[in-house]
Structure 1
Amino acid sequence: MKLVIISLCLAAAVVAQEKYDSIDDNFDISEVLNNERLLNSYTKCLLDKGPCTPEVKKVKDKLPEALATRCAKCTDKQKQIGKQLAKEVKAKRPDLWKELVAHYDPEGKYQEAFQDYLKP
């Protein structure tokens, strides 16, 4: 019985430490933020208004879970990229930001958690 409990605890610890794939951690977010065409293309994908590149599709697929878990599975680099992207889009493209928020958080249930996430 003790072995079963220890095994379950170890399995839970491994699952809890699971992170999203870090292959794309070297993604240059400034390239997207400084390129209006690229930013619009990525946004259309995220809002289900246009086609997705494989990289953006991966983000899109994980975004609901990341919002719900306060990015618990994100690597430090992914958190940094997410914060930079959110802050810059919110400041420079508030119209776009509102669309994204309305699409991914129509009930506003992640707002408090997201504001905490954006703090330095």
Structure 2
Amino acid sequence: MKFLYALSFLLALTAVNSETYSTENDNLDIDAVVADDATLKGFSGCFLDTVACDPVSADFKKDIPEATETACAKCTDAQKHIYHKFLEGLKTKVPGDYEAFKKKYDPQGKHFAALEAAVAQS
């Protein structure tokens, strides 16, 4: 009987750990964000603490530290796609911000390669 309680506890713990981030903004048109330089810089500035965040960028910003560290383990497929497109757009259009983003969210350079690999397929 104790075994069943322990097994139930472990299954419940696994279910809690498999949660995803809020899906509220999964419908973001990331292609439009990347296509518009001002909007891309607005998101980047929010994430780098150089401009005020709007509600959408603030929603994404709160998850960036953990998502970077865990290679987007809690990201939905849509969030992986958004993260990938954002990073690619930043790298291409604003390379200085891309480097600053990497330095801010992965200062020791331990996690970013795994993150980019995890979101590349989306």
Question: Which residue does the alignment assign to 1:44?
Answer: 45
Question: Which residue does the alignment assign to 2:28?
Answer: 27
Question: Which residue does the alignment assign to 2:92?
Answer: 91
In structure 2, how many angstroms separate the alpha carbons of the residues matched to 1:22 and 1:35? Answer: 23
Provide runs of 4+ in structure 1 moved above 3 Å.
Answer: none
Contact 1:87 1:118 in 2 (8 A): no
SS at match of 1:109: coil
Give the total of aligned pairs.
120
Name structure 1 gaps, 5 residues minimum: none
Contact 2:80 2:119 in 1 (8 A): no
AA in 2 matched with 1:91: T
Contact 2:84 2:116 in 1 (8 A): no
Q: Is residue 82 of structure 1 aligned with residue 45 of structure 2? A: no
In structure 2, how many angstroms separate the alpha carbons of the residues matched to 1:4 and 1:117? Answer: 35
> Between the two proteins, what is the percent identity of the paired residues?
34
- The two structures have a TM-score, normalised by structure 1, of 0.89
SS at match of 1:23: coil
Question: Which residue does the alignment assign to 1:107?
Answer: 108
- How far does the alpha carbon of each residue in 1:10-61 deviate from its partner, in whole angstroms, 9 at most, with x for none? 2122113211121211100111111111112221111111111111111111
In structure 2, how many angstroms separate the alpha carbons of the residues matched to 1:62 and 1:119? Answer: 18
Name structure 2 gaps, 5 residues minimum: none
- How far does the alpha carbon of each residue in 1:53-94 deviate from its partner, in whole angstroms, 9 at most, with x for none? 111111111100001111111001111111111122212321
In structure 2, how many angstroms separate the alpha carbons of the residues matched to 1:103 and 1:22? Answer: 24
Contact 2:71 2:115 in 1 (8 A): yes
Query: Which of the pair has the greater relative contact order for Cα pairs under 8 Å at 6+ separation?
Result: 2
